[in-house]
Amino acid sequence: MAGFTDVVKGGRRISVSISVSIGVAMVLVATTLTGCNNVSKEQYDALAQENEQIRQQLNQQQVSIKRSEAEAARLQTENDQLRTAATQASQGPTLYPGPERETSRPRDVYNDSGRTVGTVNFASGADTLDKSMTSKLDSIANTLKSRYSGYDIRVEGHADGARPTKGKYKSNEELSEARAAAVKRYLVQKGISSSRITTVGRGSTTNKVSRDGRRADVVVIGAN
């Protein structure tokens, strides 16, 4: 007689034989050894050796069965994981609701689009803010915190058509970058997170020498 245990592997069912006949043979050998008094020493030794071999084979079968059971458990776990993954894939990607319009926006989603919420002007060749401009920046900072708390901010510095002839800047590009940096520092002092603010120097965007060209624009990225 033989029993069977099933192992699932890759969708196929494999039967592992559990030899019961070995146990029957051991019983027969034991009966021969104990029930017959006319057995010679050579026959007794041969039967004893056969009995030991049968015992070893049975032990090996038991070890094999345990390994097969462990492999079956591992394959079952693997099949369950694959089944779960297949189910999730068939349902499509998980969708999450987008952020509220005025509270959160991912960085760089809107590229260069945005709303200019304020502009400050500078003296010719200067990158410092005078008192009237700091008052204006105070109002801009309040607007950023109350209406655009979840948005990123870009400060764009500009210069007019006059080339720097004195001071520490050798070009209008450097001057415009310094103006943008000055506005960022002030906004950070007013409680706007530095990580939200990027700066860029646009250089000279006009050939005219005018106050309008000497400025920095505060742009809320993604706002309409």
What residues does each domain of the chain span?
A: 2-90, 114-221
What's the confidence (pLDDT) of residue 207?
59
Average pLDDT over residues 18-43: 56
pLDDT of 187 strictly over 90: yes
Tokens of 148: 């655009």
Element (H, E) at 56: helix 41-90
pLDDT of the residue at 38: 62
- Cα separation, 202 vs 199, in Å, equals 10
Radius of gyration of the chain (CA): 43
- Please give the structure tokens belonging to residue 85: 């993954």
Whether the pLDDT of residue 222 is over 70: the answer is yes
What pLDDT is recorded for position 50? Answer: 85
Query: DSSP assignment, residue 95?
Result: P
* Tokens coding 73: 């458990």
15 pLDDT band (50/70/90 cuts)? very low
pLDDT tens sequence across 93-148: 443 333 333 333 333 333 456 889 999 999 888 889 988 899 999 999 999 999 99
Q: What is the residue whose two structure tokens read 């043979």?
A: 25
With H, G, I as helix, E, B as strand and everything else as coil, classify residue 11.
coil
Q: What is the pLDDT of residue 17?
A: 47
86: left (phi over 0), alpha (psi -120 to 50) or beta: alpha
Q: From 72, 74, 76, select the one nearest 64 (Cα to Cα).
A: 72
Residue 89: the pLDDT is 65
User: What CATH number should be reported for the domain whose range is 114-221?
Assistant: 3.30.1330.60
- Give the residue, 89 or 56, on which the prediction is more confident: 56
> Does 34 score more than 70 pLDDT?
no
Average confidence (pLDDT) over 32-51: 72
At residue 60 the predicted structure's pLDDT band, cuts being 50, 70 and 90, is confident
Q: Is the pLDDT of residue 48 over 90?
A: no
CB 220 within 8 A of CB 115: yes
Q: pLDDT tens, 141-177?
A: 999 999 998 899 999 999 987 777 666 788 889 999 9
Q: What DSSP assignment string belongs to 186-223?
A: HHHHTT--GGGEEEEEEEE--SS--GGGSEEEEEEET-
12-19 and 2-9 beta bridge pairing:
antiparallel
Res 68: pLDDT: 87
